[in-house]
Amino acid sequence: MAKIESYQGFKAFRVKFNAESTTQHWLYYKEHSVREKNASKPSNRTLFVVNVPPYCNEDCFRRIFSSCGPVASIFFHQKPSAGTAPLEESHFFPKYPRIKGFKVAYVVFEDNRGLQNALKLEKNMEPIILCTDETPITCGIQKWCQEYNNRIPDISLLQKDIDTFMEKFDSEASRKALKEKEAMQEDDEGWTTVTKRGRKPGFARKESVEKKIMGKEKLRRSKKELQNFYRFQIRESKMKHLVNLRKKFEEDKRKLALLKKSRRFKPF
């Protein structure tokens, strides 16, 4: 296999899934340097790694780069990003999509020496084994079974998560209501801020109420429309009237026929 020295500023080293693997994978890395600065990813201490396979986790990266120096933190993203991944507030109701497939990684060292040592990794060194007895990687059927089991929530933890969310929601709603109430008070000059609630809030504008109001408005507008004003409108109204008369005539004929059939001779 041809030796890969560097490409567009990236260096490379090889990894293998386990010791029995006959294939190897290349990871490309360089110093993280962007215009948009972020305290979580300082340029002088952060290593940027691309072409990271899906099975490569944080434990693998800590074991790979701990020989270069103490690792402070590791971030995984679906694609390069200057910021950090948003934190999920709830384990059961995630807001952000999960990283799938190949990804990129940011390895943050505790000092600059760790970054410099990582940049000097030997290109021709033996491939690094990712899955070992000390740091096993779950994959295949075991991974699917584990993901399925994780989908079954613990009822007590789920209830606790729901209670925490509702407490936060109620406190936020009460804070907004208090803020609106304070805004409706007269200021020193006698002015009052008008909010959507008003002095008399009235009924709640639910979806059913909105539909009822819009239906009344549509009916009111239809009454104002000009009817039988143009010639084509007069023609259409006459045709509809004739069609309705024919339908009614046929229905009356059917009713008479049924009455004649049901008539019986009753002398007493």
Q: Is the pLDDT of residue 78 over 80?
A: yes
The answer, yes or no, to whether residue 218 has pLDDT greater than 50, is: yes
Shared domain for 129 and 248, answered yes or no, is: no
| pLDDT tens string 239-259 | 999 999 999 999 999 988 888
**Residues 63, 105 contacting (CB under 8 angstroms):** no
**Looking at residue 227, what is its pLDDT?**
66
| Any domain includes 68 | yes
Return the pLDDT at 263: 72
The helix/strand/coil state of 107 is strand
Amino acid found at 172: E
How much is the pTM? 0.57
Give the length of the chain.
Answer: 268
CB-based contact 128:44 (threshold 8 Å): no
3-state secondary structure (DSSP) of residue 114 = helix
In angstroms, rounded to a whole number, what is the distance separating the alpha carbons of residues 55 and 74? 15
Asked if residue 140 has pLDDT above 60, the reply is: yes
Cα dihedral 70, 75, 81, 86 sign: negative
CATH number, domain of 70, equals 3.30.70.330
| Range(s) of the domain holding residue 132 | 11-138
Looking at residue 226, its pLDDT comes to: 66
Of 84, 107, 138, the one marking the end of a domain is: 138
Quote the mean pLDDT of the chain.
Answer: 81
Amino acid type, 41: K
Does 234 map to a domain?
Answer: yes
**Each residue's pLDDT tens digit, 107-130:** 999 998 888 888 887 666 788 888
Report which DSSP code applies to 43: T
* Tens of pLDDT, residues 163-204: 988 998 999 988 988 887 777 776 666 676 666 655 555 555
> What's the pLDDT score for residue 248?
93
Whether residue 124 lies inside any domain: the answer is: yes
CA dist 222 → 195, 215, 227, 232 (Å):
32, 11, 10, 18
Decide: 110 and 69 in contact? Cβ < 8 Å: yes
CA-atom Rg of the chain in angstroms:
37
Establish if 52 belongs to a structural domain: yes
Q: Is residue 64 part of a domain?
A: yes
The pLDDT, as a whole number, for residue 196 is 60
Instruction: Note the pLDDT of residue 262.
Output: 79
Is 162 within a domain? no
Tell me which of 115, 138, 161 is where a domain ends. Answer: 138
Which DSSP helix (H) or strand (E) runs through 109? strand 103-109
pLDDT at 217: 86
Q: What total number of domains does the chain contain?
A: 2
pLDDT band at 1 (very low <50, low <70, confident <90, very high): very low
The span from the CA of 73 to the CA of 10, in Å, is 21
Residue 86 lies in a domain: yes
In this structure, is residue 169 part of a structural domain?
A: no
Domain boundary among 123, 138, 153: 138
